[in-house]
Amino acid sequence: MQATRDKREIILAAAVDVFLNYGFRKTSMDDIARAAGMSRPALYQVFRNKTEIFRATSMNLLELKVHEVRAAFRSDKPFRERLFDSLDRSFLALHRQILETPHGSELIDVNEDVACDIKMRYCDQMVDALAEGISDAARSGEIALEPLGVDARAAATIIMQAMEGIKAKCMRGEPADDDVRNMVTFVAGALTAGKPAD
């Protein structure tokens, strides 16, 4: 079982590079097998086809990005910086990595087609991770949710909806860092405005 899991991880790591270099349509199972250092029959023992591999790479990558959000909120930086770092390390870094490749737009389109359910799960997990960070900041007294009449999950959902809007700008190849920073400044300002004075 461990050997299969190790082989799976080798395949997925190799597949990310192959998809980024060749795009989804031009990538073959032979390309992935060669990059993973194995035969095509060995590859087929773990994955049925390249769509299954693409879905697995998408899931791995998105789970890593959710982990990045949680890691960013564990720092000692002020809330505003933690919130920006969480979005930079998850959303912006992911889009930079993908869109800087010649096949980035194609990969995002393919992800929408073959891994839409994974993306929806990712959005839910992102909301959960952001809500945890917001809840922790509220419990410590760094921010206040009550004056706004929202809970941490509602605030996290608003942030994710804003990020979905900003994604359109990224898809056009335009930098979105300033937009994310402005949104974070706005949200953090609203969440700290009702905080009692020390």
Domains of the chain are 1-48 (1.10.10.60), 49-193 (1.10.357.10)
Low-confidence ranges of the chain (pLDDT < 50): none
The pLDDT of residue 174: 79
pLDDT tens for each residue of 145-156: 988 889 999 999
The pLDDT of residue 194: 63
| Whether 122 contacts 65, CB under 8 Å | yes
The pLDDT of residue 99: 78
Residue type, 5: R
The pLDDT of residue 68: 94
The pLDDT of residue 197: 56
Name the pTM for this structure. 0.87
SS3 176: coil
The pLDDT of residue 3: 57
CB-hemisphere CA count at 13 Å for 67? 6
| Whether 99 contacts 105, CB under 8 Å | yes
- For Cα atoms 63, 15, 180, give the angle at the middle one, nearest 5 degrees: 40
Average predicted confidence (pLDDT) for the chain: 91
* Cβ within 8 Å of residue 174, ≥6 positions away: none
| Burial letters 126-159, b for 16+ CB under 10 A, else e | bbebbbbbbbbbbeeebbbbeeeebebeebbbbb
The pLDDT of residue 112: 87
Residue type, 62: L
Nearest to 164 by CA among 183, 145, 188: 183
| Whether 50 contacts 32, CB under 8 Å | yes
The pLDDT of residue 155: 96
| Whether 68 contacts 90, CB under 8 Å | yes
pLDDT tens for each residue of 74-113: 999 999 999 999 999 988 888 888 878 888 888 888 988 9
Residue type, 170: C
